[in-house]
Amino acid sequence: MGFSTDTQGREEALIELFRATFTASEGAEEGTLIGDLVRNLLASTAQPDRFVFIAEENGALIGGILFSRLTYEQDQRTVFVLGPVAVATEQQGQGIGQRLLNHGLAALRSAGVDIAMTYGDPGYYAKVGFRPIREADAPAPFKLKQPEGWLAQSLTDRAMTSLQGPSRCVEALNDPVFW
Ligand SMILES: CC(C)(COP(=O)(O)OP(=O)(O)OC[C@H]1O[C@@H](n2cnc3c(N)ncnc32)[C@H](O)[C@@H]1OP(=O)(O)O)[C@@H](O)C(=O)NCCC(=O)NCCS
């Protein structure tokens, strides 16, 4: 298995990976929603505002993760939010997700990103260093429907401390349905 950031010409395959994976785990409606989200993130997010990492094996795409910029106008630190994340259904449970996440987080650290956030299953994301954070300590772009899923980690030697809101996400995520 190898990791890459080169998605040029493979956008449709990546969108399909997300659509099919989320359809299998959460149903067709969610599959369409997340497939469309990935399409929008790729199409409408400027390069400096996103990172995309893929896992491939024998030329086939088997995993993908996206990060996009979260702007805290009152805070100097660089913050990116992780999501969505998918590992092809038949390849799940073999550690690919965890390896891909660690690879992506290390790349963000090298790029000088200070803080990674995500919104998901605390049990799963704890395995790659995310810890719960209160909305009061890191305001989300929208009121969260599941505040227990709001997670953060420092990518520097400095401890995670409160982020001064309000915050603003990229256009593709700027819809309460995702929060
Ligand atoms: C979530 C997902 C990306 C995980 O990828 P994966 O390659 O199957 O995960 P891994 O094999 O790396 O799992 C690593 C560990 O997390 C555990 N794990 C997996 N899902 C978990 C969950 N929901 N809660 C707690 N632990 C979980 C695994 O048992 C494994 O534990 P271990 O290291 O102690 O054996 C993948 O299952 C997926 O694409 N699911 C459907 C889409 C989705 O829900 N995406 C996340 C929301 S954006």
- Each domain of the chain, given as residue ranges in start order, spans 2-178
Check residue 78 and give its pLDDT.
Answer: 98
Check residue 24 and give its pLDDT.
Answer: 98
Return the percentage of the chain with pLDDT > 90, whole number.
Answer: 98
Check residue 46 and give its pLDDT.
Answer: 97
What is the arithmetic mean of pLDDT over 100-112?
98
Tens digit of each residue's pLDDT (9 = 90 or more) over 165-178: 999 999 999 999 99
Bridge partners, 119 (sequence order) = 150
Give distance in angstroms: CA of 123 to centre of ligand 1: 9
Residues 6+ apart with CB under 8 A from 128: 98, 101, 102, 105
Give distance in angstroms: CA of 168 to centre of ligand 1: 28
Quick one: which of 52, 74, 51, 45 has its CA closest to 138?
74
Check residue 136 and give its pLDDT.
Answer: 97
Check residue 118 and give its pLDDT.
Answer: 98
Give distance in angstroms: CA of 167 to centre of ligand 1: 28
How many Cβ atoms are within 10 Å of 32's Cβ, its own excluded? 13
Give the pocket of ligand 1 (CB within 6 Å). Answer: 21-22, 25, 83-87, 92-98, 120-121, 123-124, 127
* 132 vs 8: CA distance, rounded Å: 34
Check residue 1 and give its pLDDT.
Answer: 92
Please tell me the CATH superfamily of domain 2-178, with its number. Gcn5-related N-acetyltransferase (GNAT) (3.40.630.30)
Tens digit of each residue's pLDDT (9 = 90 or more) over 25-78: 999 999 999 999 999 999 999 999 999 999 999 999 999 999 999 999 999 999
Return the percentage of the chain with pLDDT > 70, whole number.
Answer: 100
